[in-house]
Amino acid sequence: MTAAPVPSDTAESSGRMTHREVIQALSGLMLGMFVSILASTVVANALPRIIADLGGSQSVYTWIVTTELLAMTATVPLWGKMADLYSKKLLIQLSLGLFVLGSLIAGLAPNVEILLVSRIAQGVGAGGMSALAMIVMAAMIPPRELGRYSGMFGAVFGVATIAGPLIGGLLVDTSWLGWRWCFLIGVPFSLAAIAMLQKTLHLPVTRKAVKIDWLGAFLITAGVSTLLIWSTLAGQHFAWMSAETAAFVAGGILLLALAVWVESRAAEPIIPLTIFRHRTVSLTIIASVLVGVAMFGGTVFLSQYFQISLGKSPTVAGLMSLPMIFGLLVSSTVAGQLITKYGRWKIYLVAGAVIMTGGMLLLSTIGADTSVPLISVYMAVLGIGVGMLMQNLVLAAQNDVLATELGATTSALTFFRSMGGSIGVSALGAVLADKVTSLFTEKFGAAASGGGTAKVPDLATLPPEVLKIVQDIYGTATAHLFMIGAPIAFLAVIAVLFIKEKPLSTLSGDERAAQEQATAAMH
């Protein structure tokens, strides 16, 4: 059954923003979202140069990526909760301001310690941006019309995630710019986004006389951080099965169990446990974690495969990501338009999850001799699947909850997707390192693997016969990674199959809130 679209004159008479006003407001949001996500990925191809310039070690290499992801993931629920209590416009400008501060410090950092501190500030700002953008959209636009707009956001998210390494590679390869511009490039765009939001974003300010559950926020942050630190260090600094692993995992689970206990008793919890009573919300959260693993885990290691196994430069490796961007861009936009037109959404979730799994399986067949056009097709398939799935999971969850729970639900989805991505990158990275080490030992003997950890070789210094073996090793190891990722992606198919399709509401978040308050007053 399809609901009739809302006529534009009804939208205007109800005081709702017109399509033009929505587009103007979204332009500032999308610009802010683009630069905040870009910050996570732009350093990928620049890291070797950054580490060499600042005199950092291999462990610092990992931490420059992880600290930003960690701060972003851990603070998303807090931003979401504050959005339910305070001015969304002010919060989104504050998060962009924090991001600008972090970017300036990073761009001028004299050593790795200050660089790591700046990445935390960037992460907190990016966490606010990624959570608040979807919340502001839900406040302005009814779910029935959200498809066409969330498709644009899906495209922005995907392009920023995958274009980051390309832009980073170009900046590093340009002699008169250099790696510091990987951080500074976002500053003018962030300032422009703040100014655009001030001019175009008009939302009612909601202030309630309540307190934020700071203890719950601390326990959630500490628990998630402990597990993410463990997944970053395990396999490199200590074995997966070791006393250190037991301590980290037990500590993380204990902190999260305490967080659940505190949240269940708090008057205004950071993540209201009541949202998990909605079957749709629980299933979309499970699927979001799995999409995070596929999206981040897949794209991070493809760049390394292009450079080592196929022998491409950082800039060319970035350009080879374009089929994935294009697939994601087209599928998220087209699916969003079709959802708005016909009001049906579950079919796109199921199709997206199936196509994403297919893309992972296709990429599990790659090797050092796979042709670039064939890899491009496989990546486009993965991009199409992720594009259909990612933003529409948020839409399904937002449509299922009360208007008062929109902020907490949206931030919970963003939080779990980021956590899936963080753990996916760390765990799959450890699997890749282990596979590379075992193949090096098999081909060259134990001495070549450096006592358990094979170092990334400098391809330019290798004789041709050794180079061929090294390229084969990295091709085999990357394919192995996608073979492990495919069953994880298939679990998302199962999760979305159990989601019950519910007709999309034709009221915006603010209109639903007013209706719910009126209904409560009558009772």
Quickly name the fold that domain 18-203+270-522 has: Growth Hormone; Chain: A; (1.20.1250)
Q: What is the pLDDT of residue 356?
A: 93
Q: What is the pLDDT of residue 377?
A: 94
In this predicted model, what pLDDT tens digit does every residue of 63-109 receive, in sequence order?
A: 777 777 778 777 877 787 787 777 888 888 899 999 899 989 988 88
In this predicted model, what pLDDT tens digit does every residue of 460-517 receive, in sequence order?
A: 677 888 888 888 888 888 888 889 888 988 999 999 999 888 877 777 667 777 777 7
Query: Contact, 58 vs 219, CB < 8 A?
Result: no
- Whether 258 has a pLDDT exceeding 90, the answer reads yes
- CA 183: distance to chain centroid? 18
Q: Average model confidence (pLDDT) for the chain?
A: 79
Q: What is the token pair recorded at 288?
A: 């979001």
In this predicted model, what pLDDT tens digit does every residue of 383-428 receive, in sequence order?
A: 899 888 887 888 888 888 777 777 778 777 877 887 787 777 777 7
Read off the DSSP letter of residue 311: -
- What is the distance between the alpha carbons of residues 308 and 472, in angstroms, rounded to a whole number? 9
In this predicted model, what pLDDT tens digit does every residue of 332-373 receive, in sequence order?
A: 888 888 888 888 888 999 999 999 999 999 999 988 888 889
Burial group, residue 231, by CB count within 10 angstroms (0-12, 13-18, 19+): buried
Q: Which one is predicted more confidently, 12 or 297?
A: 297
- Whether 449 has a pLDDT exceeding 70, the answer reads no
- Whether 210 has a pLDDT exceeding 70, the answer reads no
Mean pLDDT of 130-153: 75
- What is the distance between the alpha carbons of residues 426 and 417, in angstroms, rounded to a whole number? 14
**SS3 per residue for 457-521:** CCHHHCCHHHHHHHHHHHHHHHHHHHHHHHHHHHHHHHHHHCCCCCCCCCCCHHHHHHHHHHHHH
In this predicted model, what pLDDT tens digit does every residue of 270-296 receive, in sequence order?
A: 777 888 888 888 899 899 888 887 777
- Whether 447 has a pLDDT exceeding 70, the answer reads no
Segments making up each domain of the chain, as ranges: 18-203+270-522, 213-265
Q: What is the pLDDT of residue 12?
A: 38
Q: What is the pLDDT of residue 515?
A: 78
Rounded to 5°, angle at Cα 383 from 478 and 287 = 90
Read off the DSSP letter of residue 364: T
Q: Where are the alpha helices (DSSP H) in 309-405?
A: 314-319, 322-342, 346-363, 372-400
Q: What is the token pair recorded at 27?
A: 């332009």
Q: What is the pLDDT of residue 2?
A: 41
Task: Point out which residues pair with 234 in neighbouring strands.
Answer: 238
Closest among 294, 304, 293, 305 to 365, alpha carbons compared: 305
Position 143: which residue type? P
Query: Contact, 414 vs 220, CB < 8 A?
Result: no
